[in-house]
Amino acid sequence: MEFIGEIIILILRGILQLLGELLLQLIVELFGRSLVEPFRRPKPIHPWLAAIGYIIFGAFAGAMSLWLVPALFISAQWLRLVNLFLTPFIAGVLMASLGSWRCHQAKQTIRLDSFTYGFLFAFAMAFVRFTWGH
């Protein structure tokens, strides 16, 4: 019985660690919305350039998050690898949902409000944290 309790605690700990990483990335992405506004151009830039920009911005956000919180929330290596792909996927879905909601509310959207750009940003951030985190 004690063994089952330990397994449940390990599973809950893993879920909480994944949620912690996801929450950190979502906070940074939503904060990024306020940083993007001053750089809005009258004519949109090419989608590939925007993708590269979000990758660079995500890598920078990952580096800054490591500076602020150098310890990773996830300690198990296999969970860190799962997090490298799962968290950006979830962040992309959430950003696309936010973009859809903003569109239905007749509010202005930015490219980050799509799955692709949200995923690229979150993946770059997760990759930096995965590579250089403790």
List, for residues 48-72, the tens digit of each pLDDT value.
888 888 899 899 988 988 888 888 8
Rounded to two decimals, the pTM is 0.71
Q: Which residue type occupies 106?
A: A
Buried b (16+ CB within 10 A) or exposed e, 96-126: bebbeeeeeeeeeebbbbbbbbbbbbbbbbb
CB 122 within 8 A of CB 32: no
> What is the model's pLDDT at position 34?
58
Residues 46, 24: Cα–Cα separation, whole Å: 29
Instruction: Burial-class residue 7 by CB neighbours within 10 Å (0-12, 13-18, 19+).
Output: exposed
Radius of gyration of the chain (CA): 17
CB 60 within 8 A of CB 29: no
Which tens digits make up the pLDDT trace of 9-45?
A: 778 777 877 777 777 766 766 666 555 554 565 567 7
Q: Which residue has the higher pLDDT, 2 or 53?
A: 53
Q: Rounded to 5 degrees, what are φ and ψ at 133?
A: -75, 160
